[in-house]
Structure 1
Amino acid sequence: MTTEERATKRTKIDSVKSKFQEDLLESSNVERLSKAFKESKPYLHCKIDKLVTDDLLRKVRKEIFDNLHFTVKETDIYKVHQTGDLANLDGLPSHELAQLSSLFELRNAIYSEEFRNFISSVMGCGPLSGSKMDMSINNYKEGCHLLNHDDVIGSRRVSYILYLTDPDKAWNPKFGGALELYPVIEKGIPATEPTVVIPPQWNQFVMFTVQPGHSFHSVEEVVPEGEPRLSISGWFHRPQVGEPGYSEKKDAVDEAKSSLEQLQEESDSHAKFAEYSTTLDDDATEGLTESDLLALAEWMNPHYLDMTIMSQMSDRFLDESAVQCKEIINKDLFAKLQAATTEADKRDHFTTQTMATHGTGVGGQWTAHGPPHRCRYLTVDASKDNGDETSSLFLDLQKKFESESFRRWLAVVTQCIPNGYRGEARRFRPGHDYTLATTNTRGQGVLDVTLCIANTPDKISASHWESGEYGGYECYMAPHNEEEDAAVYRAADDDGALLTLAAGCNELSIVLRDEGVMRFIKYVSARAPGSRWDVSYEYDLPEEDEEDNDDEEEEEDKDNK
């Protein structure tokens, strides 16, 4: 290397260094950060309190608010206001790029060879690509969140986030928006609650190695209006073809399935169907016995025990594969349920529209159910003692959903005969709970039956649930397209949700879910009126007779001729 080349390289290095805090890239600081990184829990991560020069980052923040457009993006796992990929800045016309000159400067500094080498040295993660970059700007406003996942997609090696919150006002942890890191119970299974919580602060930089089955994290919902949690986030990738350090050999990240891909498969830990002790013949779809009516009248609205009403419901179900029953629980039992659930929500401060601490609501017979990269909610454990009134009421409802009388009522309404059942009572707490979209992989349809009792103290609360803005709704989505990337989350409206059911109070939904159809309960916002309480069961149906299918196809062929 000539003297002139060395001087040019030195100038370039000095130029990059000038963008970051003094001494950030020096060997003594690298050694200090590397030591802290190796000792970090629950998995390897690094937090740098001040990354960029204050003057540059303030200019970047101003350019973002003055010149960039944000699009609201929402799926079952997140809601966020986001810009496009900043890798595309190079293609902007010169006059537009001039409006984002500081942002362009920062992006180039973060993906410079010097900063990539700094990241590699601190984290010991090996070389990073200089050609493949992912960077976007995320603005978490009120209600925005990101649920538990591991970031395992493609060639990602390092995840990072740079916070651009208000530089003149410290972020209050009560606002939410914290990065939450989860330990694992075993590889691939995160604990229900996080053990490390990192609230955002101005110019703070957090990074971690993408580790299959370990790097589970989430972003807490932002609660207050007018306090945006602005950040720049993205990934460093493994070297690509032609770059130093590239290897054709696949590593653990290549071989691992992403959180989303795991959701496309039914969990092996999913409870098996409990079989009924008796066998019903086809006559069971025609009506109920006197003993059935007496048993059901103990808890059901008598309106839904009228054969004329049941026949109308059956016709609708056969046409639409779904039917809803409002005010399904009789007045006496519903009054008890409403009083108990309202009191529990007040006791746990779930009616204050603030972010409750993790673990709130756990106790007695109510236990946390996960793992959170699939779902999180409370469920009743009958083996535990000292349950409260909600526990006993919901355990009793479970028994009713498993009863022979309710089985026969379902047979009349749906003209399907359940062979078995599985399900539970659940409590979805504001600011905490949800289920992510999972797919029916049984090879046949299942009957989903859900009794929803959302905390609805007044008409305004009911309208909040109905709007969907506060979550808690149940969504059915079309089967995943085999040609689509299974590592990319889809919004419910990308291809149109098949069915969306707002969280109601004292409403029963019955849905025939075909093979491949996805289903989820949207994260319940901390701003919701209270918890979504429900009893949710799946009923196993007889396999379809191939001869019947052939007959149906023949009839369709005749009709088309």
Structure 2
Amino acid sequence: MSTQQENEEERSFKRSRLQSQKENFHPGLLEETTIEKIHKAFQTSQPYLHCKIDQLMNDSLLRSVRKEIQENLHFTVKETDIYKVWQTGDLANLDGLPEDELAKLSHLFKLRNALYSQDFRDFISSVTNCGPLSGTKTDMSINSYNEGCHLLNHDDVIGTRRVSFILYLTDPDQRWDPQDGGALELYPVIEKGIPAVEPTVIIPPQWNQFVMFTVQPGHSFHSVEEVVPQGKPRLSISGWFHIPQKGEPGYNALVEEGQAKSSLEQLQEESDSSTKFAQYKTPLEDDATEGLTEEDLISLAEWMNPHYLNMTILSKMSEQFLEESAVQCKDILNKEWYDKIKQATLEADEQDGFGKERMMAHGTGTQRGNWECQGPPHRHRYMVVNSDNKKQQESSSSLLGDLKHKFSDEPFRHWLAVVTQLLPLGYRGDARRFRPGHDYTLATTNTRGQGVLDVTFCMASMPSDEAQEKWDGGEYGGYECYMAPHDEEEDAAVYKAADEEGALLTMPAGENELALVLRDEGVMRFIKYVSARAPGSRWDVAFEYDLPEEQDEEEQKE
């Protein structure tokens, strides 16, 4: 056979293959004119390279896929500090199913093969200019974002990922209401690796809509807004196209070795000491752990429940702390302070529209008093009181700002010494507000090489008798979780769930409570994302106290 005949047969085979693939996709999608149009939109997109295709698949095929999923697949809920979602296993495993089971998912199998076909991978490469993509490494799953499900800010950098994609399978006969949440949110960066606190592009899901973006370390930050209503799941297929694997055309060992570290690895390596400790002017003497002075008692009585100024009570608390490295104090504020803060925080939530089981717009609350939003959101997002910014007098920021100053005063330092038998050297902390539907902290590790004393006053909004039950259950978030260090052999791409064996201590958001926790080196902590369905905001004053370096026995003898 001549070379010309071989080339003609190859072209004929490709045309036949392309024609068969075209039947699986929306009419005209794989045409050159369409590819060029999408490519131009992709190249000019902001805040980073991405595109949205309103109709990707053959509608009949996708409806059949949705029906198969609903009738034959099992979903498992997965929840960590960064997400909550109902998910199937990796669809790469479809190849290993028995024939009778695969027959029940024949349309899903067809869809998966179409998405990873050479023709569609060529389409992706042409649109994104990302180079060749792997045809052997399939990486996709079906996600159902039910009521309360969400995915917080991250850049998708794990392993050999090159292009991220989402194909929406929401109700084909009813348009998704953006007020129900579930939108894909894209964030600009202030500088590489530091996303802005709020997104600039928000893409609500719609049936047969396809969104993709190239995985760009330090740039492709995104999140999935919480789904609020009950009984209206945001169903989607999401996954990644990878760089060519070993043995595939286009494989480059140097490119694979040079892949950026995952978001989780970056967080674990980042120090939690971005804010330095303010040092007390004078060190405490050892006898500071024995009792409080008259001046201390007078100062503390201005705001603290007198129950916690009784030396008998403090001695019992000290015993518990020494045994468990943690102690919680109910009703820590006296009645005057408690009444003022409760009224101010409930009024603020009411005026801002929180606690009504709906998503509020980004930026809600930023015009209130001295509150301002603080990020970066790939580590945390919450409001803080900026006492230097005297915008206006406002009760919630003024009162919690005043309480913040109490936490740095010498009398409270002395009180901590009595309860913990530790001698704080310095402090850092903020008065914070975690707004429903917006705010959280992701797990960060104590990397200081020694223990740190965490002291947190919590004032979760309690507008009704049922509110405490909601906070206690954990479903609405706002709880603080301490976790054991990750095993070095664990996959660094996996965020450990709070309910696994790694959880050392979990504290639901309470009202008028103070928690003291000695956090050892390597221990992780986070405050779970506060659901839009929560009774209101989690308000707190959270401080860390610098402690003297631990001495070994020989140094102590000397």
TM-score tier by shorter-chain length is over 0.9
Map Cα deviations across residues 269-303 of structure 1 (whole Å, 9 max, x no partner). Answer: 72100000111111000110111011000000000
Equivalent-residue separation in structure 2 for 1:240 and 1:492 (angstroms): 34
Deviation of the 1:207 alpha carbon: 0.2
Residue 394 (structure 1) aligned to one of 397, 400, 424: 400
Tell me which amino acid in the other structure corresponds to 2:499.
Answer: D
Equivalent-residue separation in structure 2 for 1:6 and 1:91 (angstroms): 32
Equivalent-residue separation in structure 2 for 1:3 and 1:395 (angstroms): 77
Distance 1:128 1:110, change over 3 A: same
Tell me which amino acid in the other structure corresponds to 1:17.
Answer: K
Tell me which amino acid in the other structure corresponds to 1:357.
Answer: A
Q: TM-score, normalised by structure 1?
A: 0.96
DSSP 3-state at the match of 1:58:
helix
Residue 425 (structure 1) aligned to one of 425, 431, 444: 431
Equivalent-residue separation in structure 2 for 1:8 and 1:43 (angstroms): 37
DSSP 3-state at the match of 1:22:
coil
Residue 509 (structure 2) aligned to one of 503, 508, 528: 503
Deviation of the 1:430 alpha carbon: 0.1
Map Cα deviations across residues 163-217 of structure 1 (whole Å, 9 max, x no partner). Answer: 0000000000000000000000000000000000000000000000000000000
| 1:221 equivalent in structure 2 | 226
Is 1:31 equivalent to 2:63 in the alignment? no
Equivalent-residue separation in structure 2 for 1:446 and 1:508 (angstroms): 16
Is contact 1:327–1:506 with CA below 8 Å preserved after alignment? yes
Tell me which amino acid in the other structure corresponds to 2:299.
Answer: A
Is 1:514 equivalent to 2:509 in the alignment? no
Map Cα deviations across residues 333-360 of structure 1 (whole Å, 9 max, x no partner). Answer: 1000000000000000002111000000
DSSP 3-state at the match of 2:235:
strand
| 1:195 equivalent in structure 2 | 200
Q: What are the equivalent positions in structure 2 for 1:143-154 lying under 5 Å apart?
A: 143-154=148-159
Task: Using the TM superposition, name which of 104-113 and 361-370 deviates more.
Answer: 361-370
Q: What are the equivalent positions in structure 2 for 1:319-468 lying under 5 Å apart?
A: 319-363=323-367, 364-385=369-390, 386-468=392-474
Query: What are structure 2's unaligned runs of at least 5 residues?
Result: 1-5
% identity of equivalent residues:
70
Distance 1:46 1:343, change over 3 A: same
Is contact 2:139–2:241 with CA below 8 Å preserved after alignment? yes
Deviation of the 1:265 alpha carbon: 2.7
| 1:282 equivalent in structure 2 | 286
Is contact 2:76–2:87 with CA below 8 Å preserved after alignment? yes
Is contact 1:431–1:525 with CA below 8 Å preserved after alignment? yes
Equivalent-residue separation in structure 2 for 1:272 and 1:323 (angstroms): 25
Tell me which amino acid in the other structure corresponds to 2:524.
Answer: M
Is contact 1:154–1:254 with CA below 8 Å preserved after alignment? no
Is contact 1:310–1:413 with CA below 8 Å preserved after alignment? yes
Is 1:480 equivalent to 2:524 in the alignment? no
Is 1:131 equivalent to 2:141 in the alignment? no
Deviation of the 1:255 alpha carbon: 4.3
Equivalent-residue separation in structure 1 for 2:280 and 2:265 (angstroms): 33
DSSP 3-state at the match of 1:162:
strand
Deviation of the 1:5 alpha carbon: 5.4
Is contact 1:266–1:440 with CA below 8 Å preserved after alignment? no
Tell me which amino acid in the other structure corresponds to 1:164.
Answer: L
Is contact 1:155–1:254 with CA below 8 Å preserved after alignment? no
Deviation of the 1:384 alpha carbon: 1.1
Equivalent-residue separation in structure 2 for 1:32 and 1:175 (angstroms): 31
Q: Kindly tell me the number of residue pairs found equivalent between the two proteins.
A: 550
DSSP 3-state at the match of 1:250:
helix
Tell me which amino acid in the other structure corresponds to 1:505.
Answer: E
Residue 84 (structure 2) aligned to one of 58, 79, 87: 79
Tell me which amino acid in the other structure corresponds to 1:368.
Answer: C
| 1:244 equivalent in structure 2 | 249
Equivalent-residue separation in structure 1 for 2:288 and 2:23 (angstroms): 79
| 2:115 equivalent in structure 1 | 110
Is contact 2:272–2:446 with CA below 8 Å preserved after alignment? no
Tell me which amino acid in the other structure corresponds to 2:497.
Answer: A
Residue 530 (structure 1) aligned to one of 524, 527, 536: 536
Distance 1:184 1:92, change over 3 A: same
Equivalent-residue separation in structure 1 for 2:555 and 2:377 (angstroms): 39
Deviation of the 1:494 alpha carbon: 2.9
Equivalent-residue separation in structure 2 for 1:549 and 1:36 (angstroms): 67
Map Cα deviations across residues 318-376 of structure 1 (whole Å, 9 max, x no partner). Answer: 11000000000000110000000000000000021110000000023110000000000
Equivalent-residue separation in structure 2 for 1:517 and 1:182 (angstroms): 29
Distance 1:387 1:373, change over 3 A: farther
Tell me which amino acid in the other structure corresponds to 1:539.
Answer: Y
| 1:541 equivalent in structure 2 | 547
| 2:184 equivalent in structure 1 | 179
Task: Using the TM superposition, name which of 358-367 and 170-179 deviates more.
Answer: 358-367
Tell me which amino acid in the other structure corresponds to 1:37.
Answer: F
Equivalent-residue separation in structure 2 for 1:424 and 1:190 (angstroms): 21
Is contact 1:265–1:438 with CA below 8 Å preserved after alignment? no
Equivalent-residue separation in structure 2 for 1:456 and 1:191 (angstroms): 31
Is contact 2:154–2:221 with CA below 8 Å preserved after alignment? yes
DSSP 3-state at the match of 2:56:
coil
Deviation of the 1:487 alpha carbon: 2.2
Equivalent-residue separation in structure 1 for 2:370 and 2:463 (angstroms): 25
| 2:146 equivalent in structure 1 | 141
Deviation of the 1:8 alpha carbon: 4.0
Tell me which amino acid in the other structure corresponds to 1:325.
Answer: C
Deviation of the 1:459 alpha carbon: 2.3
| 1:260 equivalent in structure 2 | 264
Equivalent-residue separation in structure 2 for 1:180 and 1:56 (angstroms): 28
Is contact 2:172–2:207 with CA below 8 Å preserved after alignment? yes
Residue 45 (structure 2) aligned to one of 30, 40, 45: 40
Equivalent-residue separation in structure 1 for 2:388 and 2:518 (angstroms): 32
Is contact 2:401–2:431 with CA below 8 Å preserved after alignment? yes
Tell me which amino acid in the other structure corresponds to 2:460.
Answer: A
Distance 1:75 1:254, change over 3 A: farther
Tell me which amino acid in the other structure corresponds to 1:353.
Answer: E
Equivalent-residue separation in structure 1 for 2:465 and 2:258 (angstroms): 51
DSSP 3-state at the match of 1:407:
helix
Equivalent-residue separation in structure 1 for 2:224 and 2:33 (angstroms): 32
Map Cα deviations across residues 419-473 of structure 1 (whole Å, 9 max, x no partner). Answer: 0000000000000000000000000000000000000122200000000000000
| 2:3 equivalent in structure 1 | none
Equivalent-residue separation in structure 1 for 2:508 and 2:62 (angstroms): 42
Deviation of the 1:482 alpha carbon: 1.1
Distance 1:133 1:549, change over 3 A: farther
Deviation of the 1:262 alpha carbon: 1.9
Deviation of the 1:36 alpha carbon: 0.2
Map Cα deviations across residues 382-414 of structure 1 (whole Å, 9 max, x no partner). Answer: 111214111110111011000100001000000
| 1:556 equivalent in structure 2 | none
| 2:162 equivalent in structure 1 | 157
Equivalent-residue separation in structure 1 for 2:508 and 2:501 (angstroms): 19
Tell me which amino acid in the other structure corresponds to 1:273.
Answer: F
Q: TM-score, normalised by structure 2?
A: 0.97
| 1:302 equivalent in structure 2 | 306
